[in-house]
Amino acid sequence: MLKTGKRINSHRRFSEEFKRKLVDDYEKGVMSVVQIERFYGIRNALIYRWIYKYSTYNEKNIRIVEMKDSQTNKLKELEEKVKELERAVGQKQIMIDYLEKMIDLAKENYSIDIKKNSNTPLSGGSNPTKK
């Protein structure tokens, strides 16, 4: 910034060879528009303008849309999460079945009713507050 408070506008000029190289990298899938933007510090609107101008696949009145891989990745991640949760539910169900069997065996062998009845008094460890 100058002493007068005015900013100095800096315009970068890019050679046609550089522009074509970036468009070629984009078309080959080496870099996405976002990656080019971040790596070179170039606005994405300018990159898209170069793509429209220098692309070998460019046709008039056709808009180029960059598809995100994140949607397919997100779907795969969600499917993996579902499988993981199904495994966890299966393991918990096995544990429940095991504990139920243990309760039944304790009741048969030792005549102990482990499941509490609804009329069982509260233990002395907790002091309910009186209202």
Q: How many domains does the chain have?
A: 2
Question: In whole angstroms, what is the distance from residue 53 CA to residue 58 CA?
Answer: 8
| pLDDT value of residue 83 | 95
Q: Which domain holds residue 103?
A: 69-114
Q: Are residues 109 and 79 in the same domain?
A: yes
Closest-CA residue to 25 (of 40, 45, 12): 40
Q: Are residues 50 and 78 in the same domain?
A: no
Residue 126: both structure tokens together: 């907790």
Buried b or exposed e, range 98-129, using 16+ CB within 10 angstroms: eeeeeeeeeeeeeeeeeeeeeeeeeeeeeeee
Residue 52 has pLDDT above 80, yes or no: yes
Q: Are residues 49 and 78 in the same domain?
A: no
Q: Are residues 102 and 73 in the same domain?
A: yes
Query: Model's pTM, two decimal places?
Result: 0.42
Comparing 27 with 94, the larger pLDDT belongs to 94
Q: Are residues 49 and 76 in the same domain?
A: no
Q: Could you say which of 24, 54, 84 is where a domain stops?
A: 54
